[in-house]
Structure 1
Amino acid sequence: MSYMSHIMVNKMVLKEEYVKVLKEIVGPKRISTEYVDRVFYSKDLGMDPTELPGAVLLPKTVDEIVKIVTFANKNKIPIYVMGRGSGLLGFGVKEDSIVLVLSGMNKILNIDKKHLTVTTETGAVWLAVNSTLWKQGYELCAQWHGGVISSTLGGAVTANTVARTSEDGTAFGETVVSLEVVLPNGQVIRTGSAANPKSIPFERYTLGPDLTGLFIGSEGTFGIITKVSLKIRRKRDITDYLSFAFRDYHDAVDAIVELQHQNLMQFGILIQGAILEKDIICKLHIVLTGDANNIEYKKKLAEAICRSHHGERSNAEHAKNFWETYYYSWLRGYPTKQYYVRSGIPYFCPEVNGYFPFEQLPKIFDAVWEEWNTNPDIKKYKGLFKAMDTFITRNVGFVWFDPLFPKLDPDAVKFGLQFRNKMLELFMELGGCPAAMSSATSPVILSKIGPTYEFMKLLKKAIDPNNILNPGVLFPEEL
């Protein structure tokens, strides 16, 4: 089976007269109808079926995006928006569409140390922005979100990716101060305090309803984010690490709740998987930050809490690796080739994720392991249990379950995608709330929320009556 076989081949490109107009907008070097480019930009890292777009455009300015969107809306041409394609949930591109690649719009526009914000273009990469801030003694309030090596800030906002920090918020979106957005009719709006043309992005909750929140997690269906203003803070002076092993989920969760009540963890992650020692069902990695006056106190208190809940001291170097070496957590310490290629077979990851209240965590852990250990098709299709990590945010656990299946076996791919959707239904049934969604997963998730989903569709119809922005991703192609 070819790696490309899950892409539905469509050799048709956009109408010649459409391509001519779009070339006039972005120039001949930033538009392509070449087959190889249309294949490359038709998907992210996921394996869900996709079709080939009619053209790929790489705009560099907001004005270009406005002209593209206005033209597409007039001619009812679907637009799919892409950052750097680092997601794993599927893109859902349809034929005769435009893929708008925003990775070239990656400038840092302003670092406001007085009001503690940074404003960037939508394609700025998380790690690059944070590295620039570090040199000046600052950092993003949302530390270390998914895909940090390559994902864009605009993509992180539109997917509302989890921010892997415990003390500052539950999701990347909570650190957003203001957005600049191009609406489906080509109009440009700004949210929060920046909506006042005589003001700056310093406050989100002002000037009427929280329109910033409308676009966070919307997967690009309500508008195209072109600028992002985020909260920043002074970089912490000292970082230290702890790791504790637990033999019972309830003990681990009780320890987490108490640690959170004391506001001790900069970062906490509960890991499960094959790398654990015998009889250890999970490990809690803890990152502590502070200064010379309080770091030792925090460390002693965190250790006392974990021990009081039957935690056993483990190697803190593993916690350090999870925090400092971004790919270590993703690859579980394996080299890239060794991790995704086992015995010469390449694998793919149909990830499943969702927020859970703390009291539900033991139930979802048991349910996932029960399904994994009793479903005969998992062994049949050579499934591997990569990890089930729970990122501890301010008041919830974000469960990230990553199975692996052979990517060159069409039956294994089909089963892996079906298994992902089955697990999403299980997450919803046990009170979980999945975050990032795609054309393949949103029907499974949003169909469960009844009137709320109907209200979302009403908003979509009002904002995008021609349904040109990311059709089929959150909402049906025919509203």
Structure 2
Amino acid sequence: MWRPSGADRGRAAAGVRHLRVHRRPLRRGGARGVSWQDEIRALLPAGLAWHEPVDTLAYRRDTSIVAPGHPDLVVRPLDAPGIGRVLAAASRLNVPVYSRGAGSMYAGGVNPHAGGLVMDLGGLDRILDIDTVRGVVVLEPGVTFGALLAALEPFGQTIGIVPSTGAAATVGGAVSAHALGTGSPRFQSMGDQVAGLEVALADGSFIRTGSAAAHGAGFFHRYAIGPDLTGLFIGADGTLGVITKIALWLHPLPAHRETACLGFADYPSAAAFLGELQRKALLDNVWYGAGYDAMAVRGRLLGADPDLDPTALPRFMLGVDYGGDADAVARDRTRIEALAAHYGGQPQPRFDEIYFHNLRRDELYWYSYAGYFAKSRCAMVMASFATDTLPAFLDQAQQWRERHPQFTWASATVLCRRGLHGAVLAFYDERQQWPEVQAVIAGCTTELMALGCVPYKSGKLWAAEVRKLTEYQRAVTRIKAALDPAGVLAPGNLGLDAR
């Protein structure tokens, strides 16, 4: 059971909003003298469940600032039937269940605030089928992106979206949290690349979505038969079911890749260019696009070359990773740079040379900030917003930088086929500043909503704001009640309270 530590009491004193997740009484088990832990442990082969605090320590939290939970039991099923047996027993025994992949998300969705058990899906790590005829790959949720990309490369194939958390992230976690990253300029987000799912429901039964719902048909079409049930489980953070199989669309590996950077004098000009870029559909050969604000531009360029004139530097930089047929890439790059020039954008080969090209070839993603992590942790809040909101988003990030100088702030923007995705990062000393940064980030989510941004990777970090979306929350609550009547799946996520 979770008990407040000194740090937790400090958070309360600092005014941090606590999640309304309550520890519900757990039934003792079926047989006299048998605990619910023993009853669930008996459903799996020996060695796949553990409860000692030293063994469960790593399962208390993800990489977010959300307070850790305290699991009473951790299980690691090796197949879908094992997941079904555990879920059926957990529902009957009223035991909360939090499913977990690599734990690399930034929203607290896997933190077991209601206690109960954590289901480690890392044991379901098989690639089941690479079907180049139908153009799909079918895999289990514990497969990492690094393993999947390596397996697809000999076939000359890749997938549409690879999240910014890099090679160690699991595909199941990315689908559950609705990831984006590499591929977003072409394909938008992870959910748009899912052909279908197999999901274990709270009562231990299974459902397949899309064309695979028809016996023997397999995965080849998502929008088939009737309503799109696949979408129910994408971004649901484990609240409606546990994903046990995923079918993703395949795409040819780009034959040619190159990077380039474009600098703009101000944020409104950059936003106008990005909006026009999206409307003209010039992103077919852009695999990744990242935006950097004035502080990031200055830091990287002046850090590499202190003799540069800081007043001559652009205030916004767009890094573009092109991929495709070489002739098509050359054609689109010429068109994109001509469009950028119309909005005052100019090529910036120096930024590409010292930073962006290496970032993309080494695929370091967010971990380009590793220098900060050597002495602190990172509080990250992520949001999606319309492209014309970019100036307001970056101005707001600068206000937080000035208002809270005790933290080292950064912001980043990911280009999508439509709209943008933004992240604000505050680097802090966890031993000294955790309660303080939690309160600040809670305020950031409220201010982002006021700008017109919407929650992304909601988990528990955005729970208070998601609850304010009354009609949306009412509909999700009804779906939750139908699929998980005992309320055991990931209580607290998406603002859904334990029942």
TM-score (ref. length: structure 2): 0.87
C-alpha spacing 1:239/1:440, structure 2 compared with 1 (3 Å)? closer
- Going from structure 1 to structure 2, the CA distance change for 1:465 and 1:6 (only over 3 Å counts) comes to farther
What is the CA-CA distance between 1:7 and the residue it aligns to? 7.9
TM-superposed deviation, 1:96: 4.4
Instruction: Check whether the contact 1:6–1:47 (CA below 8 A) recurs between aligned residues.
Output: no
Kindly state the Cα deviation for residue 257 of structure 1 after the two structures are TM-superposed: 2.4
**Which residue, 396, 419, 441 being the options, matches 1:367?**
396
Q: How many angstroms apart in 1 are the aligned matches of 2:115 and 2:421?
A: 37
The DSSP-based 3-state class of the residue aligned with 1:51 is coil
Compared CA separation, residues 274 and 196, structure 1 to 2 (3 A): same
Given that 1:163 and 1:169 are in contact with CA atoms closer than 8 Å, whether structure 2 keeps it comes out as no
- In the other structure, the counterpart of 1:135 is 154
Q: 1:320 aligns with which of 348, 354, 357?
A: 357
* Greater shift in the superposed pair: 151-160 or 127-136: 127-136
- Over 3 Å counting, the alpha-carbon distance change for 1:96 and 1:442 in structure 2 is closer
Deviation at 1:255, TM superposition (A): 2.0
| 1:384–1:186 Cα change, 3 Å | same
Query: What's 1:305 paired with?
Result: 339
SS across alignment from 1:197: coil
For 1:369 and 1:339, locate their aligned partners in 2 and report how far apart those are by CA, in whole Å: 19
Shifted more, 347-356 versus 198-207: the winner is: 347-356
TM-superposed deviation, 1:291: 1.6
* 3-state DSSP of counterpart to 2:321: strand
**Which of 417, 425, 446 does residue 446 from structure 2 map onto?**
425
CA contact (8 A) 2:175 2:190 kept: yes
How far is 1:92 from its partner? 3.4
Distance 1:292 1:471 in 2: 49
Aligned to 2:412: 389
How many Å separate the matches in 1 of 2:232 and 2:132?
27
Q: Is the 8 A contact 2:27 2:94 kept in 1?
A: no
Q: Which amino acid aligns with 2:475?
A: F
Does the 8 Å contact 1:7/1:51 carry over to 2? no
- 1:66 correspondence with 2:84: yes
In structure 2, the residue matched to 1:406 is 429
Q: Secondary structure at the match of 2:258?
A: strand
TM-score (structure 1 length as normaliser): 0.90
Specify the alignment match of 2:13 in structure 1.
none
Output aligned runs, 1:28-39, within 5 Å.
28-39=46-57
Give the drift of 1:6. Answer: 5.4
Contact map agreement 2:467 2:495 (CA 8 A) in 1: no
- In the TM superposition, structure 1's runs of 4+ consecutive aligned residues that sit over 6 Å from their partners are none
Is the Cα contact below 8 Å between 1:193 and 1:199 reproduced in 2? yes
1:231-380 alignment, distance < 5 Å: 231-260=249-278, 261-264=280-283, 265-272=286-293, 274-277=295-298, 278-279=310-311, 280-315=314-349, 316-317=352-353, 318-327=355-364, 329-332=365-368, 336=370, 338-341=371-374, 346-373=375-402, 375=403, 378-379=404-405
The one of 467, 481, 485 equivalent to 1:465 is 485
CA contact (8 A) 2:62 2:111 kept: no
User: What's the counterpart of residue 307 of structure 2?
Assistant: none
CA-based RMSD of the aligned residues comes to: 2.2
Change (3 A) 1:74 1:291: same
Cα deviation digits, residues 248-283 of structure 1 (max 9, x gap): 011112222233324243321111264423343221
CA contact 1:457–1:475 (8 Å) conserved in 2: no
User: Is contact 1:127–1:149 with CA below 8 Å preserved after alignment?
Assistant: yes
Structure 1, unaligned runs of 5 or more: none
Whether the 8 Å contact between 2:185 and 2:415 is mirrored in structure 1 is no
Matched, 1:222 2:224: no
Amino acid at match of 1:149: A
SS at match of 1:420: helix
Q: Which has the higher contact order (CA 8 A, sep 6+)?
A: 2
1:32-71 CA-to-partner distances (Å, cap 9, x unmatched) read: 0111122211111223222311111000011111111111
* CA contact 2:135–2:251 (8 Å) conserved in 1: yes
Higher mean C-alpha deviation, range 180-189 or range 37-46? 37-46
Q: Distance in 2 between matches of 1:426 and 1:97?
A: 34
Q: Which runs of 5+ in 2 are unaligned?
A: 10-22, 29-33, 299-309
CA distance in 2, matches of 1:236, 1:67: 42
CA distance in 2, matches of 1:434, 1:478: 21
Deviation at residue 14 of structure 1 after TM alignment: 9.8
The one-letter code of the counterpart of 2:204 is G
- For the pair 1:206 / 2:224, whether they are aligned, the reply is yes
Deviation by residue 1:118-167 (Cα, 9 ceiling, x = unmatched): 1000111112101211221000012x312122111111011001233244
Percent identical: 25
